[in-house]
Amino acid sequence: MSTNTDIWISGAFAVVVVDFLVYPFDTLKTRIQSPNYTKIYKNPQTGAVNRSLLFRGLYQGVGSVVLATIPASGAFFTTYEALKHTLHNLPSQSQSIPQLQLQLPTPIIHSLSSCTAEAISCFIITPAEVLKQNAQVVTTTPTNPTSNPQGKGKGKGGKVGSGALLQTMARFRSQPYKLWSGYTALLGRNLPFTGLNWPVFEYLRSCFSGVVVERRRKKENKKGTTDLNGGGSLGGVEHALITGVSAAMAGTVSSVVTTPVDVVKTRMMLGASSTGSADSASGDGKGSRNAWGMGKKVVREEGVRGLFKGGAIRSLWTAVSFGIYLCMYEGGRGFLERRREGESD
In SS3 terms, 280-309 reads as: CCCCCCCCCCCHHHHHHHHHHHHCHHHHHC
pLDDT at 282: 41
pLDDT at 224: 64
pLDDT at 288: 57
Contacts made by residues 319-323, CB under 8 angstroms, sequence distance 24+: 319/248, 319/249, 319/251, 319/252, 319/255, 320/21, 320/22, 320/25, 320/248, 321/18, 321/21, 321/22, 321/25, 321/251, 322/197, 322/247, 322/248, 322/250, 322/251, 323/244, 323/245, 323/247, 323/248, 323/251
pTM, two decimals, is 0.72
Look at phi and psi of residue 57 and say left if phi exceeds 0, alpha if psi is from -120 to 50, else beta: left
Per-residue pLDDT of the chain (345 residues; tens, 9 = 90+): 567 777 788 888 888 888 888 899 999 999 999 888 988 898 888 889 989 899 999 998 888 887 888 889 889 988 998 999 888 887 655 455 454 455 778 888 988 999 999 999 999 999 988 888 888 888 765 544 444 444 444 444 444 555 788 888 888 888 888 888 778 878 888 888 888 888 999 999 999 998 988 888 888 777 765 444 444 567 778 888 899 999 999 999 899 888 998 898 888 888 876 643 334 444 444 445 677 888 899 999 999 999 999 888 889 888 988 899 889 888 888 888 778 777 665
Q: What gap in Å lies between CA 258 and CA 210, rounded to an integer?
A: 29
**What is the sign, positive or negative, of the torsion defined by CA atoms of 237, 242, 243, 249?**
positive
First to last CA, the chain: 15
Q: Could you give the count of Cα atoms lying within 13 Å of 164 in the half-sphere of its Cβ?
A: 27
Q: What gap in Å lies between CA 117 and CA 129, rounded to an integer?
A: 17
pLDDT at 228: 43
Name the CATH superfamily housing domain 4-90+105-139+163-221+236-275+286-342. Mitochondrial carrier domain (1.50.40.10)
The alpha carbon torsion through 170, 176, 182, 187 (nearest 10 deg) reads 130
What residue spans define the domains of the chain?
4-90+105-139+163-221+236-275+286-342
pLDDT at 142: 53
Distance of CA 169 to the CA centre of its chain: 22
pLDDT at 150: 42
Residue 93 pairs in a beta bridge with 101
